[in-house]
């Protein structure tokens, strides 16, 4: 459904090469997690995918159409949800906002907003304001807003990085519920390997900058998944170790490079 072929991105000006020849695909209704070291180019990759950033090379296609601007079939949730919500609008208004240019009837609009708020467990909070809610609840509002227009793909950039561990696992399960009940494909970037393995059908492991795909790991764990059972499964530990080794490989390369480059006391003396 979503295909990324040989994507390249070099920022103009300083010429930072963020992404090199990245290819992978997302099939309808599946959950793909992208993991990679910080500064690798994950956010850059997502911004290209959403049509928010011009790519330097390669092709992105959604249902056969080239993505050059933000596609209507895609919705995004970013890490900094507190800045993405309008503080002076109620929860309901915030979730309704992106539906406004969709020209739904008033009844359809109310129906969709209600469904989205129920899906994230926020029914009853329609008239609250974002500043009255906890961080985890604000992130739920951001997710409700993204799923209200029922996108084919939900793109998320480290969406749970700034919430506590308990809220984080609740929100992970919320993503699983959304995928299961609405059939939305999810493309989620995280630096948390456990989170990636727990959620994903496949994990795309990226190298350090410029980002290349080190491996795409099929996660063959049964669904429905649950925080206790799935994470206790021996297979879970194997996948986790595999991804960790790939990422460690990246780190070790970096370390040995920095050792090589360290000025030697004896050199030139």
Task: Return residues touching ligand ADP (CB under 6 A).
Answer: 11, 14, 16, 18, 36, 38-44, 209
44 is in the binding site of which of Mg ion, ligand ADP, none (Cβ under 5 to 8 A by kind)? ligand ADP
57 is in the binding site of which of Mg ion, ligand ADP, none (Cβ under 5 to 8 A by kind)? none
Closer CB to ligand ADP, 39 or 87, in the complex: 39
Residue closest to 92 by CA, chosen among 119, 125, 120: 125
11 is in the binding site of which of Mg ion, ligand ADP, none (Cβ under 5 to 8 A by kind)? ligand ADP
Our finding on whether 10 is near Mg ion (CB under 5 A) is no
User: Which tokens hold the place of 192?
Assistant: 């948390």
**Segment lying near Mg ion (by CB under 5 A), choices 41-49, 81-89, 126-134, 166-174:** 41-49
145 is in the binding site of which of Mg ion, ligand ADP, none (Cβ under 5 to 8 A by kind)? none
**Segment lying near Mg ion (by CB under 5 A), choices 38-46, 88-96, 110-118, 246-254:** 38-46
Closer CB to ligand ADP, 93 or 191, in the complex: 191
Cβ 57 to ligand ADP, closest distance in Å?
A: 16
Residue 254 to residue 262: CA distance in whole angstroms: 12
Residue 94 to residue 92: CA distance in whole angstroms: 5
Cβ 34 to ligand ADP, closest distance in Å?
A: 9
Q: What is the CA radius of gyration of the chain?
A: 20
Strand 153-157 relative to strand 74-77, pairing: parallel
Query: How distant, in Å, are the alpha carbons of 139, 158, 179 from that of 172?
Result: 12, 11, 11
41 is in the binding site of which of Mg ion, ligand ADP, none (Cβ under 5 to 8 A by kind)? ligand ADP
Q: Decide: residue 17, CB within 10 A, 0-12 exposed, 13-18 middle, 19+ buried.
A: middle
Cβ 56 to ligand ADP, closest distance in Å?
A: 12
Residue 124 to residue 21: CA distance in whole angstroms: 47
Closer CB to Mg ion, 91 or 199, in the complex: 199
Cβ 114 to ligand ADP, closest distance in Å?
A: 34
Cβ 44 to Mg ion, closest distance in Å?
A: 8
Residue closest to 207 by CA, chosen among 7, 36, 21: 36
Cis peptide before 238 (omega within 30 of 0): no
- Beta bridge partners, 185, equal 153
Site for Mg ion in 57-86 (CB under 5 A): none
Residue 269 to residue 50: CA distance in whole angstroms: 54
Residue 117 to residue 148: CA distance in whole angstroms: 8
131 is in the binding site of which of Mg ion, ligand ADP, none (Cβ under 5 to 8 A by kind)? none
User: Which tokens hold the place of 40?
Assistant: 């690798």
Cβ 46 to ligand ADP, closest distance in Å?
A: 8
Query: Largest Cα–Cα distance in the chain?
Result: 81
The single residue among 3, 8, 23, 43 that binds Mg ion, judged by CB under 5 A, is 43
Residues that bind Mg ion (CB under 5 A): 42-43
């Amino acid at each position: 459904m979503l295909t990324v072929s040989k994507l390249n991105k070099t920022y103009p000006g300083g010429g930072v090469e963020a992404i090199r020849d990245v290819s992978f695909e997302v099939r309808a209704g599946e959950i793909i997690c992208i993991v990679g070291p910080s500064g690798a180019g994950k956010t850059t990759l997502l911004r290209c995918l959403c049509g928010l950033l011009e790519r330097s090379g390669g092709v992105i296609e959604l249902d056969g159409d080239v993505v050059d601007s933000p596609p209507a079939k895609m919705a995004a949730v970013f890490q900094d949800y507190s800045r993405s919500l309008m503080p002076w609008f109620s929860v309901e208004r915030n979730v309704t906002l992106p539906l406004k240019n969709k020209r739904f009837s008033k009844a359809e609009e109310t129906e969709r907003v209600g469904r989205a708020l129920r899906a994230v467990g926020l029914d009853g909070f329609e008239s609250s304001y974002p500043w009255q809610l906890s961080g985890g609840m604000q992130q739920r509002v951001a997710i409700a807003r993204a799923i209200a227009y029922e996108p084919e793909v939900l793109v998320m950039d480290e969406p749970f990085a700034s919430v506590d561990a308990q809220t984080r696992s609740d929100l992970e399960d919320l993503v699983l519920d959304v995928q299961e009940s609405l059939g939305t494909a999810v493309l989620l970037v995280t630096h948390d390997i456990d989170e990636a393995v727990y959620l994903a059908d496949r994990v795309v492991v990226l190298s350090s900058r410029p980002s290349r795909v080190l491996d795409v790991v099929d996660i063959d764990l049964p669904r429905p998944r649950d925080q206790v059972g799935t994470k206790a499964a021996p297979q879970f530990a194997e996948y986790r170790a595999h991804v960790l080794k790939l990422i460690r490989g990246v780190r070790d390369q970096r370390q040995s490079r920095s050792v090589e480059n360290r000025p030697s006391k004896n050199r030139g003396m």
